[in-house]
Structure 1
């Protein structure tokens, strides 16, 4: 390993399984001291008797790394604050936050209950905002004291948030919100030495077993394209000092492929210089659509 994160203190939420576990192990292998956060719930957010955070922290220590477990609910103010405190009090600082925690409650929109909407938006969107907010407050204080950090936040988006996904209105909306939050945080926190980016991963986890079922056959030629470990190298780089100057960007990562997502950009435009009538606006819109790039399909459509 290169030691690209040697000495850095890294927090990873939702790190008990899947992508989060892969990220935590990868950061530790590159020399980071890791706070492994996992609330220990099932795929739908219901309580789970296991303590996956402790298991991953022990796995890191057994390999010669440094790690502690944190089992707080980071979608609460106290849980997120205690996560930052755990890093600072144990290791003397905080350098990187990887927001990864989440679960699913999939329903078609006409069957999607308010509780299922609130639960998914809470853990994904609020569960990104609160650790980000508390970490940013710590880094702002450090910068104000003359100790400008080289801080990094890596958020976890999804293709569902970029394109939409049938049966996942709550999840898609939350992930789209995470992308917007990433852009705002990058713009606001740069003055304190903080860079903020997002990754939209495609990998085999508890959350994607059904979504990517067809792609989860036996790996060809010895390369498991859906292994979560394939996503972690990009996340580790974005969480390191080596990515200086990269902020406010969204990447897709799957197998051996990395893509920079370019987001919403102005396309064909018409300007009448005064108010349109409804009929004129419709005619202009159709002419513009004829010259525009067609949208990519929604997942599952």
Structure 2
């Protein structure tokens, strides 16, 4: 079995000063990549800034025989995203891999206690950071016809007893992943964009209480979620637009499916019929996996959806 190597390639890893980002950066560097280690150095709630975390991870990589530079820009603004990519380009002349890992939990408590500013900050760090860094590097990858982007989402967007901002941001990250992957695939570009929802011990997991935090430290160290990202960032990755649950040395596929549903016939569907047939709507048997918007609308064959391929779809 040949080793997954990244010799001659350049990777940007955001939020790489601690936890998962640090594990991703160290794995890529250990396998030959030159790594730009980005971290603003704020706390897990997005407050403050320090050059310490990014510098420390970069120093660890260099001490282990790898090549790395530290970057201290915020991912949460357009200028910050451009500056991150510019440093990598100025230093090494190319960017092959981007791991959009940076995130913060700013808003806390139920939605009616979340401030507008805190909600927006949650969105701008995770979803905005993914957008700004990817936007800054996209044309470079497009013109070179090569790129590997791994966006870091979270199972929080599936629903949990948390604030509203962080799950919303992580859900948006998957939507952006699907959009970018579809656009690149539709133009036959060798740019693969995938997403992970890791479970790993990190600063944020201490908010879950001692019992969960201790269990995660034992079974879900950040390094146990790094290998899947290494594969998704590799030249050999076989898919794009996919989501994977990672952590604990386990990798699982996460996907969207549409049920066969209930068809009342044209012009006949009423709220009462929906109520009476909701079990059929809700049943999971014979569901269809959908990878994009076209797959979903094409389930109804009454419209010539193919006419929109290459434009709408």
TM-score, reference length from structure 2: 0.84
Equivalent position SS for 2:22: helix
Q: Deviations over 1:192-242 (max 9, x none)?
A: 3210000100000011122374234378xxx93210001111111111112
Cα pair 2:153 2:174 within 8 Å, conserved: yes
Gaps of at least 5 residues in structure 1 are 143-147, 294-301
Cα pair 2:12 2:97 within 8 Å, conserved: yes
Equivalent position SS for 1:247: coil
Q: Does 1:183 align with 2:178?
A: yes
My pick for the range that moved more, 72-81 or 121-130, is 72-81
Q: Deviations over 1:114-159 (max 9, x none)?
A: 11111101101111111111111111233xxxxx32x100000111
**Higher RCO by CA contacts (8 Å cutoff, separation 6 or greater):** 1
Cα pair 1:215 1:226 within 8 Å, conserved: no
Question: What is the alpha-carbon distance in structure 1 between the residues aligned to residue 224 and residue 83 of structure 2?
Answer: 30
Q: Does 1:127 align with 2:129?
A: yes
1:18, distance to aligned residue in structure 2 (A): 0.7
Question: What is the alpha-carbon distance in structure 1 between the residues aligned to residue 240 and residue 56 of structure 2?
Answer: 32
2:261 equivalent in structure 1? 269
1:61 equivalent in structure 2? 62
Question: What is the alpha-carbon distance in structure 1 between the residues aligned to residue 209 and residue 252 of structure 2?
Answer: 19
Cα 1:287–1:92, aligned 2, differ >3 Å: closer, same or farther? closer
Q: Does 1:21 align with 2:22?
A: yes
What are the equivalent positions in structure 2 for 1:152-163 lying under 5 Å apart? 152-161=148-157, 163=158
2:169 equivalent in structure 1? 174
Gaps of at least 5 residues in structure 2 are 286-313
- 2:231 aligned to which of 232, 237, 241: 237
Cα 1:211–1:268, aligned 2, differ >3 Å: closer, same or farther? farther
1:193 equivalent in structure 2? 190
Question: What is the alpha-carbon distance in structure 1 between the residues aligned to residue 215 and residue 254 of structure 2?
Answer: 29
1:115 equivalent in structure 2? 117
Question: What is the alpha-carbon distance in structure 2 between the residues aligned to residue 29 and residue 287 of structure 1?
Answer: 52
2:31 equivalent in structure 1? 30
Question: What is the alpha-carbon distance in structure 2 between the residues aligned to residue 224 and residue 42 of structure 1?
Answer: 23
2:293 equivalent in structure 1? none
Number of equivalences: 280
Question: What is the alpha-carbon distance in structure 1 between the residues aligned to residue 149 and residue 215 of structure 2?
Answer: 34
1:225 equivalent in structure 2? 219
Question: What is the alpha-carbon distance in structure 2 between the residues aligned to residue 119 and residue 102 of structure 1?
Answer: 10
Cα 1:271–1:253, aligned 2, differ >3 Å: closer, same or farther? same
1:32, distance to aligned residue in structure 2 (A): 0.6
Q: Deviations over 1:239-262 (max 9, x none)?
A: 11121x311110001202110112
Q: Deviations over 1:3-30 (max 9, x none)?
A: 6112210000000111001111111111
Q: Does 1:258 align with 2:251?
A: yes
Question: What is the alpha-carbon distance in structure 1 between the residues aligned to residue 75 and residue 215 of structure 2?
Answer: 35
1:77, distance to aligned residue in structure 2 (A): 1.2
Q: RMSD across aligned C-alpha pairs, in angstroms?
A: 2.0
